[in-house]
Amino acid sequence: METIKLIGAIMILMGSFSLLIAVIGLLRMPDVYNRVQAGTKASTLGAIVSFIGVGLYTVESWGDGNWLGRVIILIIFILLTNPVSSHVLMRVAYFTKIPLTKLTKTDMLKKDGNTIIKEGENE
């Protein structure tokens, strides 16, 4: 039992470190697109590892079955919502013409011809 609690504590620490990396990425990246990408990937990993660690750390309270189900539901929710929300944020930023960093070499959305159809232009 103590070994599982130790593994859980280590996983909580690893998740916290990943969340710290997400914050550093938000501060250091040059534009909104890189910030959203860095923050989303690291925070998703950090939250999932932290929740698994909490689940392992509280293994003695699994007898009622509530903790494991809640942890699994939280992980599924994060896996479904983080990528979708970051995708929407980046598309809104792009279509409101927030500039890319000067280091960007290729604009794949512009290259593919993805544009928003404005009212009256759908013909």
In this structure, is residue 106 part of a structural domain?
A: yes
pLDDT of residue 115: 57
Lowest mean pLDDT among 9-13, 56-60, 90-94, 102-106: 102-106
State how many domains the chain has.
1
In this structure, is residue 85 part of a structural domain?
A: yes
d(CA 63, CA 105): 55
Q: Residue 28 is encoded by which pair of tokens?
A: 């250091």
Among the listed residues 45, 60, 54, the one whose alpha carbon sits nearest the alpha carbon of residue 10: 54
Q: Is the pLDDT of residue 62 over 70?
A: no
Q: Is the pLDDT of residue 123 over 50?
A: no
d(CA 38, CA 34): 6
| DSSP classification of residue 121 | -
**Number of residues in the chain:** 123
In this structure, is residue 67 part of a structural domain?
A: yes
In this structure, is residue 119 part of a structural domain?
A: no
In this structure, is residue 104 part of a structural domain?
A: yes
d(CA 53, CA 64): 18
Q: Is the pLDDT of residue 111 over 80?
A: no
In this structure, is residue 122 part of a structural domain?
A: no
Provide the domain limits for residue 25.
Answer: 2-112
In this structure, is residue 107 part of a structural domain?
A: yes
Tell me the pLDDT band of 114, cut-offs 50, 70 and 90: low
Enter the pTM of the model: 0.76
In this structure, is residue 123 part of a structural domain?
A: no
